Structure 1
Amino acid sequence: MQTQKVTDHIVNWLKDYATRAGVKGYVVGVSGGIDSAVTSTLCAMTGLEVLCVEMPIHQHKDHVTRAQEHIKQLSKRFENVKDVRSDLTPIFDTFVESMPTEEMTPQVALTLGNTRARLRMTTLYYHGGINGLLVAGTGNKVEDFGVGFYTKYGDGGVDVSPVADLLKSQVYKIGEHVSVPESIMKAAPSDGLYGNEITDEDQIGASYDELEWAMEQVSKGKKVDDFVGREKKVFKIFIDFNTRNQHKMQPIPVCEIPYKYLT
């Protein structure tokens, strides 16, 4: 990958899109992870207004520390960067208390995690709306178009997706190129919705390197039975996630009524 050219291309694309949309810049949710760090840095490099938003919800201190470290260094490097902290823990707790009490099953835990992501989406659009900014998404290609590892109308609810055509490994290369803090570069990827100890790999069952491999095999027309051992397991994980999450990746289905029924 030609890192400098890819970086310049994304920065120019972001600047051009905002200019044509008639907005001042971008708002980005900063979580302490590599994707949000790279996205917010690329937005900052446009020279347009950038608002970094922290949105903790019972957040682990490691995530908070990394997010604050990134925002601090980004603000020093770019005068166009501002930040705000919206603590959503009380809102989340109030929401949960207003819902029927449920036994904590895996499905309930998943639903609560998605609820956190949707509260954050609403918060980003609030800050974007009052400041004339677009919401920049942070999803990468493996998450958005490979396994669908994001929340519909949560972190999937954005105006633009600057790094969605980059694999996770390529996001890391951009991160190194644009000087993302070392603590973020080394941290195990985690969505932060279920505690710091639960990584993306824990949830998915495969690493991003393995998922990228599986994604490449699909593009070559490979099938599950073409592999054995760990490769077969990883390939099946990828296919299962991809199939199950197509509802996120495809446009919302519209029931088209036959014209003759409407006349």
Structure 2
Amino acid sequence: MQTEKVVEHIVNWLKDYAVNAGVNGFVVGVSGGIDSAVTSTLCARTGLDVLCVEMPIHQAESHVTRAQDHIVSLTNAFSNVSDTRTDLTAVFDTFKNEVFAEGDQATIDMALANTRARLRMTTLYYYAGLYKLLVVGTGNKVEDFGVGFFTKYGDGGVDLSPIADLMKSEVYQLGKYLKVSESIMEADPSDGLFGDARSDEDQIGASYPELEWAMEMVADGKQETHFSGRALEVFKIYKRLHLLNAHKMSSIPTCKIPTKF
């Protein structure tokens, strides 16, 4: 990958899209992870207004520190970047106390994790409406089109996705080129939706390099019979999640009414 050209292409794409949409710039949720760090930096390079929003909800301290450090670095480097902190912990707790919870604890925990993402989406769109900005997605190709590792109408609710055609490994290449901090570059990828330090790999059961491999194998038409051992295990994980989360990656099913009616 020609990293410099990819960066230039994305920055120009972002700027053209915003100008054609008649908006002032972008709003990005900054989590302390590599995807949001790269995305917010790309947005900053457009020269248009960029609002970085930190939205902690019972967040692990390491996530908070990395997010804050990145925002400080970005606002110091780019005069067009501003930031705000919206602590959604109390909002989340109020919601949690008002709804009833039935079922096994794992199901309840997942429902609440997705609620966190949807509260953050609502917050980003609030600021987008307030300042005439576009909500920028931070999902990469494996998450958005491979295993569907995002919350429907949460972090999946965005106006545009600048890095969704890049594998996670390619996002790291951009991060290195853009001089994203070592603390972010070296941190285990995590969605931060459970209030602890569990990683994406802990949840998925496979690392991003493994998932990238499986995505490529599926694209090449490979079947389970081609693999054994860990390779077979990863291939099955990828296929299962791709099927399970297909509803996130497809258009909303619409009931078409026959013209004769």
Structure 2 length as normaliser, TM-score?
0.99
Task: Extract unaligned runs of 5+ from structure 2.
Answer: none
Secondary structure of 1:260's counterpart equals coil
Q: In structure 2, what is the Cα distance between the partners aligned to 1:235 and 1:35?
A: 24
Moved over 2 A (4+): 101-104
Asked if the contact 1:63/1:196 (under 8 Å) is kept, the reply is no
Letter in 2 for 1:197: A
* Number of residue pairs matched by the alignment: 261
Shift of 1:102: 3.8
Shift of 1:224: 1.2
Shift of 1:260: 1.1
Q: In structure 2, what is the Cα distance between the partners aligned to 1:24 and 1:13?
A: 15
Structure-1 residue corresponding to 2:145: 145
Structure-2 residue corresponding to 1:29: 29
Asked if the contact 2:190/2:199 (under 8 Å) is kept, the reply is yes
Asked if the contact 1:121/1:155 (under 8 Å) is kept, the reply is yes
Q: 1:84 to 1:232 in 2, by over 3 A?
A: same
Asked if the contact 1:190/1:196 (under 8 Å) is kept, the reply is no
1:198-231 superposed Cα distances (whole Å, 9 cap, x missing partner): 1000000000000000000011100112100000
Shift of 1:258: 1.1
Structure-2 residue corresponding to 1:59: 59
Structure-1 residue corresponding to 2:176: 176
Structure-1 residue corresponding to 2:19: 19
Task: Extract unaligned runs of 5+ from structure 1.
Answer: none
Asked if the contact 2:60/2:197 (under 8 Å) is kept, the reply is no
Letter in 2 for 1:55: M
Structure-2 residue corresponding to 1:224: 224
Matched, 1:158 2:141: no
Alignment RMSD (CA, Å): 0.8
Matched, 1:74 2:74: yes
Q: In structure 2, what is the Cα distance between the partners aligned to 1:103 and 1:206?
A: 27
Shift of 1:196: 3.4
Q: In structure 1, what is the Cα distance between the partners aligned to 2:160 and 2:100?
A: 35
Q: What is the percentage of aligned positions where both structures have the same residue?
A: 65
Letter in 2 for 1:59: Q
Structure-2 residue corresponding to 1:242: 242
1:216-263 superposed Cα distances (whole Å, 9 cap, x missing partner): 0011100112100000000000000000111000000101111112xx
Structure 1 length as normaliser, TM-score?
0.98
Q: In structure 2, what is the Cα distance between the partners aligned to 1:194 and 1:233?
A: 26
